[in-house]
Every structure is written in structure tokens, then in C-alpha cells.
Amino acid sequence: MTSALGIPALGIASPIGIGKAAVAAGLLHGRRGLVARTDLVPGRTLWVGAVQAELPAIPPSLSQLDCRNNRLMLLALTEIAGEIRQAIDRFGADRIAVVLGTSTAGISNGEEAYLERVGQGAWPSHFLYTQQETGNLAEFAASVLGVTGPAYTIATACSSTGKVFAAARRLIATGLCDAAIVGGADTIGRMTVGGFSALEAVSARHCNPFSRNRDGVNIGEAGVAFLLTPDPAEVRLLGVGESSDAYHASAPDPSGRGARESMTAALADAAIDPAQIAYINLHGTGTPLNDPMEGRAVHEIFGGDVPCSSTKGMTGHTLGAAGACEAAFLWLTLHPAYNAGRLPVHVWDGVPDPEIPSLNLVTPQLGNTVGAGPMLSNSFAFGGSNVAVILGSA
């Protein structure tokens, strides 16, 4: 176990709001941030969790990295710019790491550029391949912030921004840096939505996690930034558990082995018992295969009493940003400035699946009565890459 690190700052741009206060209000009232789109998959109207905000401009000196994904990341970073500046003044720019996650990078810009090439016979002059490179997210963030410590991007699909906590903590523990900016961004594009659609994993309606009537995901987008330091803070990183079961390229192990291993490892890392966990943010994609697997794994470790919810019914599945987005929901629930003693609501049709072990899914009434304590968030990715993150209050 590594000593708990403080998480003093959070910036977030999500489908249910921009900034901590707006997201906290939407989260605790079950606000859906889903909109209908007809331009992503030919012949289909799909619901997606889109960020409804004007995104900031990229500085001209970084125009080679200009893409929607980096602009979304910049929006989240801007919210904590003051705290980052204080960390630079205290530790030095060379002692602050940047560890971010993504799966899409700027591929949507590449899509638009390709359509222009097909239609007009030439690539647009403003398009550069670097805008699509996965690693450009951390490069961009480090450059725009003026920090020169270790900077890299993790791309393990839907577990990417959960794994950044473990990676950054290792950098601090080994003395390679004193603090870290962690989080990440993913954005909606035709290729991503089309790929999930080809896998028959996309719902034609609002996604319905853990329901008997579930039929797939809604794709979403988000940008999230945390500051991670060795100092005490209102919210702390208590534990991280990683596993790789490599069961299948796109399907989870139906036994839940990898999911159990990541949650068990996180509990051991935090040195706490399952009974101490006050709330679990489920991966809860609403797909036929994920929910039974996760339900079994959670029930085997925690039983059926711990309050749980999947927040993807509000945001959609924010892909590589999901781990950070849902860790942010824990942060907002734990932080006394944003939490009113309520838990994130599970938004669904209320029809349980008898094939999934019974879980204590949060209703608005339960959300008004449950107190805080250590909280866990799950993220499970293609290829069997799993991560569980535990946060706690001071």
C-alpha cells in the first residue's frame, strides 16, 4: 500500500454540466445529458452524451495539436488553473507530471479532414496527422500548462483514465515527481460510434443499466482534470486495483474474474474491508454482457446491501474518459462543498433482471439519506483491462 495522496482540485466538463457545481447538481438529481444525433451512423438516430458548451481556443503556438479532444481537455484544465499554478510555484514546473488517458484523441478531426479530401480532392490545409495521435493529449496539456515533468498518455480503452491514478502515484512514490495532473478526455466521433454500432452494442434508446430491458450503450464524451499531491485534502486517493484477464477482444469474462481481482486489489491497496465501502459507481454500460458479469462480481465481494449506481444513464459511456469522469463523481459526492449527503442516482426503467444478483441501486429517496465513506468506482475495458479506484474523505 502507498500512503494516501490528496486530490485538492477537480475540473470537469461533462454531458450533465460544465464545472463542479453544475455537475454535482445534475448528478444528484438524475439529470440526463443525452441528445439525439442522426449524423453519426447512416440511417440511425442515436442518443449520445454530448458536452453542450463552447470550447476554448487552442493557443496559436500549439495549433498543430488543435482538435476537439484537446479543447475539451483545456476546458477542464482551465477550471483548476489556479491550483495548478500554486503547485508549480511550490514544487517547480519540472516536478509536476501529466498522466492523462484517451481512446479517441483527435480522430474526429481526421474524419472531417478525410471527408473534405474525398469531396474536394485535397486534405484541408489546417489538418495535421499529429492531431490524431493518442499521445498528443498529455503533450498538449503539459505544453499549455508549462510543466516539464514526465508526461504521457494511457490508452487502454475504457479503463484509461482510471489507470492514470495508479501510474501517477507510482511516479510520485518513486521520486520522479512531487505532484501530478491526472484525468483525460474523449470525444464523440463517427468512427467510435460506428464501431460500437458494428458490434451491436449501441442502444437505440436511452441506455438502461442493469435492467431486464437493456440493449446497449449510449456513447458520451467528457474532459476531466485532477491535481494529485502528497498534501492532505478534503478528498484522498485511497487505493487502486488493476487486473488484466485478457478474456476476449471485446467481451468481458462472464465469470467476473478480472472485475473481482481489480476490486479486491483496490481494497487491499487501501487496507479496508468490503464492509467499509459506502458506495460503488458501477461500470454499468447497459450491455447484455457487462451488467451480469459486474453484478455477480460486486455481489460476491460486497453482498447486496452497499448502495450502487451506474451514472451512464445520465452521461452515456464516456469511453476512455469514463474512469476519470466517474472518479470525479465520487470526488463531488465526498467533498463537503458539493455533497448534501446524497449519492448519485441510478437512472433506469426500474425493471430488474432476474439473471443479475440483486444490488442496492440508488433511488432518489436512498440518495437523500446515505452518508459518506470510502467509495469505489469500476472501469472495465476491451481486452480485459480492468481498474477499480477508491476515494475517501479527509
With beta carbons less than 8 A apart as the criterion, state whether 272 and 239 touch. Answer: yes
Domain that includes residue 14, residue range: 5-393
**What is the pTM assigned to this prediction?**
0.96
Residue 371 pLDDT: 61
What b-and-e string marks burial along 1-12, b requiring 16 or more CB atoms within 10 Å of the CB?
Answer: eeebbbbbbbbb
Q: What is the pLDDT of residues 62-95, one digit of tens each?
A: 999 999 999 999 999 999 999 999 999 999 999 9
Mean pLDDT score, 55-62: 96
Among 116-130, 280-294, 371-385, top mean pLDDT goes to 280-294
Residue 394 pLDDT: 81
How many Cα neighbours within 13 Å face the side chain of 319?
Answer: 29
Q: What is the DSSP letter of 338?
A: T
Q: What is the pLDDT of residues 148-169, one digit of tens each?
A: 999 999 999 999 999 999 999 9
User: In terms of DSSP bridges, do strands 279-281 and 235-244 run parallel, antiparallel, or are they unpaired?
Assistant: unpaired
Residue 372 has pLDDT above 80, yes or no: no
Local confidence band at 229 (pLDDT 50, 70, 90 cut-offs): very high
- Please state, in angstroms and as integers, the Cα–Cα distance from residue 390 to each residue in 26, 40, 172, 321, following that order: 22, 35, 18, 17
How many folded domains does the chain comprise?
Answer: 1
Residue 340 has pLDDT above 90, yes or no: no
Local confidence band at 368 (pLDDT 50, 70, 90 cut-offs): low
Active-site annotation, residues: 158, 283, 317
Out of 68-82, 231-245, 252-266, 369-383, pick the least confident: 369-383
Residue 30 has pLDDT above 70, yes or no: yes
CATH code: domain of residue 37: 3.40.47.10
Mean pLDDT score, 367-385: 84
Residue 329 has pLDDT above 70, yes or no: yes
Q: How far apart are CA 150 and CA 163, in angstroms?
A: 16
Residue 367 pLDDT: 60
Maximum CA pair distance of the chain? 62
Long-range pairs of 175-178 with CB within 8 A, sequence gap ≥ 24: 176/97, 176/149, 176/150, 177/91, 177/95, 177/96, 177/97, 177/149, 177/150, 178/91, 178/92, 178/95, 178/96, 178/229, 178/230
Residue 1 pLDDT: 44
Residue 260 has pLDDT above 50, yes or no: yes
User: What mean pLDDT is reported for the chain?
Assistant: 94
Residue 17 has pLDDT above 50, yes or no: yes
3-state secondary structure of 135: coil
Residue in 357, 380, 346 with CA at minimum distance from that of residue 207 = 346
